[in-house]
Amino acid sequence: MKKKSSMWALIAVLAVIGIAVGSRLLVWSGDGHAAIGGPFTLTDHNGRTVTEKSFAGRFMLIYFGYTYCPDVCPTALGVTSVALDGLSPTERAKLVPVFITVDPERDTAAVMKDYVTAFAPDMVGLMGTPEQTNAAKKAFKVYAEKAKGGDGENYTVDHSSILYLMGPDGRFIQHFPHGTNADELLAGLKKHLK
């Protein structure tokens, strides 16, 4: 009996922690929408300056990561690629996949272009100055820090791994946490793209 009550106590504690973390991520604005997203000015992988207004009228599926990421980013973008392939042409035309680098020192336009188009030909890679990158990270409540112990160009970046679905009006709709599989992502996208 003690084991069972201990297990339920542990589950209750984990649930409270999960709610606290989730509510911190999803800070709500006064109008009932999550306060995630907002204005940004970055450069795309073709060298053009873009803002959030450049994507007005289309859904955005946004992921923050970096091209030298050894495993988390390729996994998330691989899942994204498979889910995108499951959309109908009509649904696909409504959505632009966006990859924003958290490593502007190494992720040049050429590196970004090769990287993002390997996952989806129409994926847009965005980069900016450290200040622009930090502003975008802040707007989307993204965590990213250089890991300790790296030197020169041999470093990794610890970062959150979340896909953000933004509406055609630029407002946050839904997030997909790390571990979401392609079927779950596809179902979530289809729900909003109909």
CATH 3.40.50.280 is right for the domain spanning 36-193 = no
| pLDDT tops 90 at residue 108 | yes
Summarize the annotated binding site for Cu cation as residue ranges.
69, 73, 159
pLDDT at 181: 98
pTM for this model (two decimals): 0.82
pLDDT per residue over 58-106, tens digit each? 999 999 999 999 999 999 999 999 999 999 999 999 999 999 999 999 9
Alpha carbon distance 17, 15 (integer Å): 5
Q: How confident is the model at residue 13 (pLDDT cuts 50, 70, 90)?
A: very low
Cα dihedral 111, 75, 136, 131 sign = negative
Measure Cα distances from 74 to 46, 106, 123 in Å: 21, 17, 14
Summarize the annotated binding site as residue ranges.
69, 73, 159
- For residues 150 and 27, which has the higher predicted lDDT (pLDDT)? 150
